Amino acid sequence: MNEKIRALFPITKNYAYLNSAAVAPLPTISIEAVNRQLRDVSENGSLNFNQWIDTKSRARGIIAQMLKVKPEQIAFMRNTSDGLSTIANGLNWRSGDNIVSFAKEFPANFHAWRRIRDAFGVELRLCPERDGRIDLDEFIELIDGNTRLVSISAVQYGSGFRADLERIGRAARAVDALFVVDIIQAFGTTALDLEAQMVDAAAGASHKWLCAPEGCGILYLSDRARERIEPTLVGWISVGEPWDFEDNEQKYKPNALAWETGTGTASLFYGLEQSVKLLDESGVGNIQRHLEELSNYLCELLAGKNYEIVSSRAKSEKSQIVCIKHLGGVSPAEIAKRLERENIIVSPRNDRIRIAPHFFNNQEDIEKLVEVLP
């Protein structure tokens, strides 16, 4: 977006790094923050413990603001899988229930529901992919009066397809089903308003588009979801007054904070705070526009090359992720290796090459990629 942002990411000096859908590099301000907290522990032990908690709370507040939800509706987990699994395990499943999802979800958004299918005999209905897209008419037709939960990724890891969350949310709400969204490939690059989009619960993590340290998972539970989902993994800070060590029978917190079991990785939250603050101050809307320009530019440069653009380029469906296939049969793994030798980093995903620029990338990175593509 500008050179000041690019300068915060040392990786840009050596690589055309187009792989933030896998792991995003960290800005220097986040590394400095992590190191600052670790030095504090080394020099002062627990004396500044309250500062660690305050930092975590500020990070929670920024995340809630970006998702347009309340801070107490956000809990920190280890990763996206933990968030989705705790949703699945906390519901009271009944015979005859069904779950609606997409056949090519990232496995984190499959195995949570697979276990429920196998343990309780719940039907798992999976909508197929159609030419790199999800046909939302076909997807919504799978929802019926026995649907207890609908789950989808806001942006698909393997195609970049961006779902119309509000449309799906309305369909789920019409049959009183919970709508659960994996936001990891959207949060940080795509404007989200979870309440307006009728999302009941969401899970994501820090190490992709948030450009933050790995290990900070994010769970969102709306008030509606909290009424239906029970915390199944709890600990000493899950209760209303965790510092009252004498009262072991006190109630669990009435919101998502009941899902936080104990002390966490304080240093990582220092990095998380700086990363999400940078994104928020840059403006997710501005980031989204910048990435749309870069992805459009990429697709223009690919015209006439020996590649098929798998990702939908429809205005309402495209995202910052562009997936392509070589028409001559060169494997994605081989293409990725060739690019890496030229310090261009992308990911092979299934039968595709996934190209995933972020706000620190520029047109020169895209030009270098297209020039080197076999």
Is there a single domain that holds both residue 248 and residue 305?
no
Mark which of 251, 280, 309 sits at the end of a domain: 280
Write the CA distances from 2 to 5, 216, 256, 286, 301, integer angstroms: 6, 27, 37, 11, 22
Is there a single domain that holds both residue 303 and residue 160?
no
In a domain, 166, yes or no: yes
Is there a single domain that holds both residue 200 and residue 323?
no
Tell me if 154 sits within 8 A of 163, measured CB to CB. Answer: yes
CATH number at residue 320: 3.90.1150.10
> Which residue range(s) make up the domain with 332?
3-18+283-372
So what's the pLDDT on residue 332?
A: 98
In a domain, 24, yes or no: no
In a domain, 25, yes or no: no
So what's the pLDDT on residue 18?
A: 98
In a domain, 341, yes or no: yes
What is the rounded CA–CA span in Å between residue 248 and residue 85?
26
Residue with tokens 């709890």: 234
Is there a single domain that holds both residue 273 and residue 289?
no
In a domain, 27, yes or no: no
Residue spans of beta strands (DSSP E) within the chain:
16-17, 74-77, 98-102, 123-127, 147-153, 178-182, 201-205, 217-221, 307-309, 322-326, 344-345, 347-349, 352-355
Is there a single domain that holds both residue 119 and residue 12?
no
Q: How many domains does the chain have?
A: 2
Is there a single domain that holds both residue 291 and residue 268?
no
In a domain, 26, yes or no: no
9 CB burial (10 A radius; 0-12, 13-18, 19+): buried
- When computed from its CA atoms, the radius of gyration of the chain, rounded to whole angstroms, is 21
Which residue type, as a one-letter code, is found at position 298? L
Give CA 176 to chain center in angstroms. Answer: 25
Of 154, 168, 265, give the one whose Cα is nearest residue 209: 154
Per-residue pLDDT tens digits of the chain, which is 374 residues long? 789 999 999 999 999 999 999 999 999 999 999 999 999 999 999 999 999 999 999 999 999 999 999 999 999 999 999 999 999 999 999 989 999 999 999 999 999 999 999 999 999 999 999 999 999 999 999 999 999 999 999 999 999 999 999 999 999 999 999 999 999 999 999 999 999 999 999 999 999 999 999 999 999 999 999 999 999 999 999 999 999 999 999 999 999 999 999 998 999 999 999 999 999 999 999 999 999 999 999 999 999 899 999 999 999 999 999 999 999 999 999 999 999 999 999 999 999 999 999 999 999 999 999 999 99
Is there a single domain that holds both residue 220 and residue 130?
yes
Max Cα separation, the chain?
72
What is the rounded CA–CA span in Å between residue 280 and residue 68?
12
Is there a single domain that holds both residue 217 and residue 354?
no
Is there a single domain that holds both residue 61 and residue 161?
yes
